[in-house]
Structure 1
Amino acid sequence: MRSSLSLLVLFPLLLASSARADLTEEQRRLPLEADAPNPNLAKIVLLAGSTSNKAGQHEYFAGCALLHDWLSKTQGVWPVLVADGWPKNEAVFKNAKAVVVYADGGAKLPFLAPERWNVIKNLVAQGTGLVMLHQAVDVPEDRAAEVQQWLGGAWQKDIGCRGHWDMEFNAFPAHPSLNGVSAFAAPLDGWLYNLHFSPDIIPLLSGSVPEKSRSTPDAREHAGRAETVAWAYKRKDGGRSFAFTGCDLHRNWSVEGQRRFVLNGILWSAGTTVPADGALVPMAAGAIGTNLDAKPPAHPQTQAAPAIQ
């Protein structure tokens, strides 16, 4: 009897382990899909996309591991870290206050399968917060209208532009996601802009972009315009959404302004109180180099990290 019970307990763990063969030994040591022990905690599910792009870019697992660490330091919050873009145990979504999608977009968006799409759709309908980072805002054309209703914006190739360049942010609106955020720069990051936006989004971060990046006729009609790369959105269902199209380069999590801004936005989307001075986002020396995907070495430009701020 004891042997049978042991197998019942171990089987889900063995199944999850075998399905995540691409995770490094370091990544496997993190608590994956560890559900909240107390229903009174604000559960935030972090969907880290599968291995993508070059070393130092699209480090979805390492980025979500950092978010998990910082959220763990927030009183009353329980983050759940999920690998490969989708949980093996969908029960972790139950009573979630927010879902964060940090993954490839377009045809690689991790919840395009009908059964997964319906899970996200139902969560949104229940008022669950939705956060989409970097390429996750890029969605297939036939899903764009619905995602725009959920998120307040969706990137489409008909008008959207993307690329890498420096951006600086030093003028902020009054919004909880910007509590305690000082002016910051995100050097050489990857950006998506000129999305299809709902009229009532709240632009949070906007700035100048290289005019040569205006690759669509619609974008060229707005030469010189400051472009929105992050926004908040209060949905008609009462839920909240937050998006930031940066954080392509993993090294930019070393920038305090960026990590506090994103943490604040996640907390706001979950309906929790954002501290007046912003979320706690301590960064230990060397933390930026932990839990990276196994990839060939990066180009020096994307590998070198700015000094921790």
Structure 2
Amino acid sequence: MKKLSTCILFSIGLFSSALAEKKNILIIYGKSTHQNYAHNNEEVATLLKTKFDNSEYAEKFVIETCLNYPSDLSKVENADLVIISSDGGPKHALFHKKDPTNFTKHFDSVIKKNKTGVIMVHWATDAPSPKFGGLHKENAQLMQDWIGAVYYWVNKGKSPESSWTWKFPVMEFTVNKEHPISNGLPETFKLQDEYYYNFFTEGADSRNPKNDKVTYIHSSKAPSTRDDIEDETKWREQPTYWTYDREDGGRSVGLTSAHFYHTWANPHFFKTFTNSVLWTLNEEVPENGAAIPTPTLKELLAVNKKAAIYMKAEHFK
């Protein structure tokens, strides 16, 4: 009996050790908005959890989703990776009505202490602030610390000193094949989405400069302002997907694509994202990319019966 008990205890110990080695992914999402076909933040959180939970990575990762910043702060403190998908400004998942820095300061201290991976999706790249198009300087600086850049929309994007939004061009992207996040991707691909340009970053011109910490993953020639759309001679290389090696040693990803829900059915975008999850967790990205099948439109729509696909959608397959 003693030998049997010892074997059982040994087995339980191995099982507990295996569980302890799993990495925790926390997906913080804001409310879904935009007529059910865009900014589907809740649906995206559910979709990502479902795809990972039904993949070979279920044995490695524990994924939890949470509407807005959790009241149980241990969820953030125990996370190895935090993915944030939400609207920006006062609708940001990290915005606190009474104290705009309440959640951001906690988040900042945790990720820097733990070297937590960070992925900011679409409008979540806009720093939390009391009003749309406003600038909360402290939170804007924190966003730069987290992802190497911050979206700053002012005067409806008409100011040359502003970030701005382009709806909804079909862009051909150059893929940075030297980065492991691009494993399994083609050298170029097309995607229709809503894109943000002129992010504010650290650097001489403070506008999307590449440096030893910011690396473009998807980039294309794009206008610097809305007034330059018709004059391609004024276009310059700008990223819509990038990585950032933080000062604290953690890894971050920022992306301005994924406005549309159907973007998640684009195999090149989806593989980039799943590869990003592995990279931010310091996991090896397989040569052919993460082994998770691209969601079908049927899968996207099954998440929520109210979800929709943009009627004029192009280049999402």
Fold conserved between structures, TM > 0.5: yes
Matches within 5 A, 1:1-309: 38-72=19-53, 73-75=55-57, 76-113=59-96, 114-126=101-113, 127-139=115-127, 140=129, 141=135, 142=137, 143-157=139-153, 158-164=161-167, 165-182=169-186, 183-187=188-192, 189-198=193-202, 199=211, 200-209=213-222, 211=223, 214-215=225-226, 223-283=234-294, 285=296, 286-292=298-304, 294=306, 300-301=311-312, 306-307=316-317
TM-score normalised over the length of structure 2: 0.75
Cα distance in 2, alignment partners of residues 52 and 149 from structure 1: 27
Cα distance in 2, alignment partners of residues 291 and 90 from structure 1: 27
Number of aligned positions between the proteins:
264
> Where does the alignment leave 5 or more consecutive residues of structure 2 unmatched?
1-17, 130-134, 154-160, 203-210
Query: Do 2:270 and 2:294's aligned partners in 1 also have CA atoms closer than 8 Å?
Result: no
Distance change >3 Å, CA 85–CA 264, structure 1 → 2: same
Distance change >3 Å, CA 284–CA 58, structure 1 → 2: closer
Query: Do 2:173 and 2:219's aligned partners in 1 also have CA atoms closer than 8 Å?
Result: yes
Range with bigger deviation, 89-98 or 175-184 = 89-98
| Greater RCO (Cα-Cα under 8 Å, separation 6 or more) | 1
Cα distance in 2, alignment partners of residues 125 and 178 from structure 1: 26
Give a deviation string over 1:278-301, Cα, whole Å, max 9, x none. 112214641021223747x67622
Query: Do 1:98 and 1:129's aligned partners in 2 also have CA atoms closer than 8 Å?
Result: yes
> Where does the alignment leave 5 or more consecutive residues of structure 1 unmatched?
1-36
Give a deviation string over 1:103-150, Cα, whole Å, max 9, x none. 101221111224322331122212101110100111142211121011
Amino acid across the alignment from 1:195:
F
Amino acid across the alignment from 1:190:
E
Q: Report the structure number with the largest CA radius of gyration.
A: 2
Range with bigger deviation, 244-253 or 280-289 = 280-289
Matched-pair identity in %? 21
Secondary structure (helix, strand or coil) at the match of 2:226 reads coil
Query: Do 1:98 and 1:270's aligned partners in 2 also have CA atoms closer than 8 Å?
Result: yes
Distance change >3 Å, CA 156–CA 104, structure 1 → 2: same
Distance change >3 Å, CA 79–CA 103, structure 1 → 2: farther
Cα distance in 1, alignment partners of residues 162 and 254 from structure 2: 18
Secondary structure (helix, strand or coil) at the match of 1:44 reads strand
Give a deviation string over 1:54-86, Cα, whole Å, max 9, x none. 221001112122222333324353242324223
Cα distance in 1, alignment partners of residues 162 and 227 from structure 2: 5
Cα distance in 2, alignment partners of residues 263 and 63 from structure 1: 13
Distance change >3 Å, CA 235–CA 222, structure 1 → 2: farther
Distance change >3 Å, CA 222–CA 52, structure 1 → 2: farther
Please provide the CA RMSD for this pair.
Answer: 2.7
Give a deviation string over 1:226-281, Cα, whole Å, max 9, x none. 21111111111110110111000111211111001011112211222222211122
Secondary structure (helix, strand or coil) at the match of 2:109 reads helix
